[in-house]
Amino acid sequence: DAKTTQPPSMDCAEGRAANLPCNHSTISGNEYVYWYRQIHSQGPQYIIHGLKNNETNEMASLIITEDRKSSTLILPHATLRDTAVYYCIVRHRPMDYGGSQGNLIFGKGTKLSVKP
């Protein structure tokens, strides 16, 4: 699976949009971009994923560049509860029930601090 590069930390003012970048310049054509976050002392939480089109759900938007070498996770109106470590993970489409390709490989992520 392709490696990703994220800034170690970012700050964001409450109520403002948080834009978290991720570089994945070695991504291959059938690899997806996933975003998870981990609030302190909790298990990771799935946020969103995409292949090449921009995606939006109730939590966030995912913007993937046309060359797919980078992406940005956007939290449109950050709240204090969005303070967490955000992980960008690039991986192939998982097999039906996992196996060796079913696990996620976590990097160091970006620690987002939302401040009042």
Partner 1 sequence: GAVVSQHPSWVICKSGTSVKIECRSLDFQATTMFWYRQFPKQSLMLMATSNEGSKATYEQGVEKDKFLINHASLTLSTLTVTSAHPEDSSFYICSAPKGKGTEAFFGQGTRLTVV
Alpha carbon of residue 88 to chain centroid: 4
Q: Is 21 in the site for partner 1 (CB under 8 A)?
A: no
Q: Is 108 in the site for partner 1 (CB under 8 A)?
A: yes
Binding region for partner 1 (CB under 8 A) out of 1-9, 21-29, 34-42, 64-72: 34-42
Residue 8, token pair as written in the block: 């170690």
Binding region for partner 1 (CB under 8 A) out of 2-10, 18-26, 43-51, 68-76: 43-51
Cβ neighbourhood burial of 77 (10 Å; 0-12, 13-18, 19+): exposed
Q: How many residues bind partner 1 (CB under 8 A)?
A: 26
Q: Is 46 in the site for partner 1 (CB under 8 A)?
A: yes
Greatest CA span in the chain, whole angstroms?
43
The C-alpha angle with vertex 102 and arms to 86 and 99, in degrees rounded to 5, equals 160
Q: Is 43 in the site for partner 1 (CB under 8 A)?
A: yes
Out of 26, 28, 94, 115, name the contact with partner 1 by CB under 8 A: 94
Task: Give the separation between CA 14 and CA 96, rounded to whole angstroms.
Answer: 40
* Interface positions with partner 1 (CB under 8 A): 32, 34, 38, 41-46, 49, 87, 93-94, 96-100, 102-109
